[in-house]
Amino acid sequence: MENFACVRTQAVLAENAYKYGFILRYPMGKQEITGTSYEPWHYRYVGEEAAREIYERGICLEEYFE
């Protein structure tokens, strides 16, 4: 049950963090760009406007600043 709770918590966080200005800092599939492998626990505050754009475009922070 504990693993299910962790997975569910991560899913809820991934779906809603941007609404509060947070992004998943090192998302899956972006290692070539970020230089760091996927870290599901690593969130960063970037502000609501930037977080929404990053989330909606499916990009990472490095791509946002390009």
Whole-prediction pTM: 0.87
Tracing tokens 């599939």 back to the chain, one arrives at 29
Domain residue extents for the chain: 2-64
Q: What is the predicted pLDDT for the residue at 34?
A: 98
Instruction: Check: CB of residue 60 under 8 Å from CB of residue 33.
Output: yes
pLDDT tens-digit series, residues 6-55: 888 889 999 999 999 999 999 999 999 999 999 999 999 999 999 999 99
Q: What is the predicted pLDDT for the residue at 3?
A: 75
Q: Which residues are catalytic?
A: 39
C-alpha triplet 46, 47, 52: angle, nearest 5°: 95
pLDDT band at 5 (very low <50, low <70, confident <90, very high): confident
**Separation of alpha carbons 30 and 28, rounded Å:** 6
